[in-house]
Amino acid sequence: MSSNDFRCPACRAKQPLQPVCRRCDADLSLLVRATEHVAALIARHEQARAQADHHAMETTARQLALLAPKRLTAICPDKRDQ
């Protein structure tokens, strides 16, 4: 997801991902932190895959399954049924 594809969950305003909605002033800081955490997990998963670190791959896959299941299936097609 690019930052310009983000929509405020409160008012649905399309905007870049930022801590406060430009239209309704909703506090989106938790959502921003969660999105950044998911991006870091994906990067860590890709790094573990490149190093063939299966334990780290499984750990990050479990975390992604909880936080962003759709993103997990995009990078780990074998995890669709979990």
Helices 54-67, 29-50: axis angle to 10 degrees equals 160
pLDDT tens-digit readout, 50-80: 999 999 999 998 998 888 877 766 666 665 4
Q: Is the pTM of this model over 0.85?
A: no
Q: Which amino acid is at 52?
A: A
Q: How far is CA 69 from CA 11, 13, 25, 77, in A?
A: 24, 24, 28, 11
Residue 8 has pLDDT above 60, yes or no: yes
pLDDT tens figures, 12-46: 999 999 999 999 999 999 999 999 999 999 999 99
Per the listing, tokens 């573990």 go with 48
CA–CA separation, 44 and 66 (whole Å):
16
